[in-house]
Amino acid sequence: MNHDAYDDNYIRSILNNVKSIAMVGASPVNVRPSYFAFKYLAQRGYDMIPVNPGHVGKELMGKPFVASLADIGRPIDMVDIFRNSSHIMPVVDEALKLSPPPKVIWMQLGARDDAAAEKAEAAGLKVVMNRCPKIEYGRLSSEISWMGVNSRTLSSKRAPVPTQGMRLSLNRSSFGGGQTAASDRAAKNKTETT
């Protein structure tokens, strides 16, 4: 697999099919990127599990921290690694010891370990490196464009205005749209004219 560029359908199938995500390196500190990603994915309906031995005894959005993947005690679909590249191989090794193993290993922005990816793929797992599931979800669901972020994707077709509870292309409800007066007016005006 070419880990320098991913087909949108590959990413979309992962985000549509996983239900539980163990985030290794999650932080309860609300200014950390892992906190934002955890919160965003939890609000989109994913069963999030925070993994960080330094925060055992604490909770993140009502979910108790566990020290390791082995401490989860139930099957998980995806391991999202929020650690730097030098810590990826041990996490992949731990994930491969789980029974059953996860379906996906996802390495966050800036994290890449080709040997760990090869090992996971040889065991039948899907792998994504140097990407953020929060960003990919927002990009593929069109939420990101309505939040004022340039997705660097040009299209002559405007994305639908996301409204509360709307089903987007990733088969999950939108929580980002419909929260401001402007987006509420746009959704109402569109409904009145059609």
**What pLDDT was estimated at residue 157?**
57
Contact present, 110 and 81 (Cβ < 8 Å): no
**Long-range contact set of residues 71-75: C-beta below 8 Å, sequence gap at least 24:** 72/22, 74/20, 75/20, 75/100, 75/102
Point out the least confidently predicted range of 17-31, 112-126, 179-193. 179-193
**SS in 3 state form for 86-104?**
HHHHHHHHHHHHCCCCCCE
The terminus-to-terminus CA distance of the chain in angstroms comes to: 44
The predicted-structure confidence for 11-67, as pLDDT tens digits, reads as follows: 999 999 999 999 999 999 999 999 999 999 999 999 999 999 999 999 999 999 999
- H helices within the chain, ranges in order? 8-17, 33-43, 88-97, 114-122, 133-141, 143-146, 181-193
- Report helix, strand or coil for 42: helix
Q: Which domains does the chain carry? A: 8-135 (3.40.50.720), 156-193 (no CATH)
Per-residue pLDDT tens over the stretch 75-91? 999 999 999 999 999 99
Q: How far apart are CA 187 and CA 113, in angstroms?
A: 44
What residues have CB less than 8 Å from 150, skipping those under 6 apart?
none
Contact, 51 vs 67, CB < 8 A?
Answer: yes
- Whole-angstrom Cα distance, residue 190 to residue 113? 47
What is the spatial distance between Cα 11 and Cα 17, in angstroms, rounded to a whole number? 10
**What are the C-alpha distances in Å from 117 to residues 106, 120, 193?**
9, 5, 50
Give yes or no for a contact between 61 and 42, defined as CB atoms under 8 angstroms apart: yes
pLDDT band per the 50, 70, 90 thresholds, residue 143: confident
